[in-house]
Amino acid sequence: MRIGRTAGVLGAGIVLAGLVFGALAWGREPGIAPEVEQRLAAADAAAAEAGLAAQALEERVEELNDRLRDLEGRLEEAESLEGRIEATSGRIWKALKRVRAEIGSARAAGDAAAGDAAAALSEARRAVRELDVLRDRYDYHLRRYHGG
């Protein structure tokens, strides 16, 4: 809602009243009583003052309308920025969920790899023990049957 329209109508009414009083004062008859003259002069002054006040009010209303338009523009910018922030926030949360899922998968794969490595190490140790036994037997047979 614009304040200017209401103030403009009010100002126009005051200016019109001033013009009417001014026209009456301009076309005065020479035989008018002094107290009527004083009242007319006071009315002229009041009308002029009201006209100036209406003009000042109208200027102030225009300033306020300009400020309101500026604030509305800033509000639109803020709402636009808020929308972009919400969209970015949504993308960040989705990416964070994917990262967490990937970390879980990597942990599971790491655990499986660790299990496989532990099994392979156990198998390698068993193989080393068997090779030690075979080597000890070979050495025994070499010394016993071949003089070595």
Give the pLDDT score at 83: 94
Tokens of 33: 């009583």
Tokens of 74: 């800033």
Give the pLDDT confidence of 122-135 residue by residue, as tens digits. 999 999 999 999 99
Give the pLDDT score at 28: 52
Q: What residue segments make up the domains of the chain, in order of their start?
A: 3-113
Q: Residue 13: pLDDT above 80? A: no
Task: Work out the mean pLDDT of the chain and round it to a whole number.
Answer: 85
Q: Which long-range contacts (CB under 8 A, 24 or more apart) does 48-54 make?
A: 48/18, 50/14, 50/17, 50/18, 51/11, 51/14, 51/15, 51/18, 53/14, 54/7, 54/10, 54/11, 54/12, 54/14, 54/15
Tokens of 117: 């490595």
Question: pTM for the whole thing?
Answer: 0.44
What's the pLDDT band for 136 if we cut at 50, 70, 90? very high
Give the pLDDT score at 6: 59
